[in-house]
Structure 1
Amino acid sequence: MTVASDPLALDRQVCFALVVASRTVNAIYRPLLEPMGLTHPQYLVMLALWERAPRSVRELSDVLQLDPGTLSPLLKRLESAGYVRRERDQRDERMLAVTLTGSGAALRARAELIPPAIVAELGMDLTELEQLHASLTRVIAAARTAQSDA
């Protein structure tokens, strides 16, 4: 049996390609984020907050597709770094709101240099990357549908 005809060949697995792509692309982000004191997951939290803040922990969890147990340590580290504040929501004391500090908001200007640096580092055409993003978004939606149908 050849690799091309083997349905279990590692190189043919979508899951393998996704994991390797994620790991290698995240490695490109690392040296860009380290000077800002951010890990890639923390960067994703900051992106969500730069898009709109304050946000509840529940809303952040939904937007980032992370369970609250994974999100909580990220928020604690961002709070320790002085980038965010967690406070009881004034409208609903049961909710915890996450907002940017002045330092966290100011960090956005430095972060704006990251997307073009990633595009340059990958050496891929922006249109190709946008098409890849659209394809991955469809894969995510299809996987979610499959999970909810199961």
Structure 2
Amino acid sequence: MNHIVEECIEEIRKYKSDVHELNPGIERYIIEAFESKYNIKLPEDYKDFLTVYNGGELFIPGTVISGVFDENSLIEEENRDLLHLNLTNKWPDMGDELLIIADLIYGDMICYDCERHVIVQWDHEIGEVTIEWDSFADWLREEMKIGNELVDYDGIDKEE
């Protein structure tokens, strides 16, 4: 497992249970079946995360990370935060190369750029990429840092 993702998962587990609402992880073969079905190669560090947490929400209300539909899990197909639904549920000018992997609370999307193999933030107000990370792990580490600045381990908002 990617060591940065592993550190972030350890950090997530330090929080009181109602700070995050994350789904149980899924097996790699399910992720690989998704990749095969949709002819997409997901980043290894994102797949590492999905094997521990198959999507869900960080710092409720906060960032919603997309998971992979698994008919054997409790995640229902109607859940809007699944990767296969994100293939078509895009803003009109978003482009085919971007796969939405997370929704930020204020409307921007975190996407995997399937052509350039980086993680980007797509700004829904101006209709373009505004921030870029080398990997899912780098983005997740930053997201956890931001959340930690706002919320303590007991789920209490920190004073500014």
**TM-score, structure 1 normalization:** 0.23
Which of the two has greater helix per residue? Answer: 1
Whichever structure has more strand as a proportion of its residues is 2
Q: TM-score, normalised by structure 2?
A: 0.22
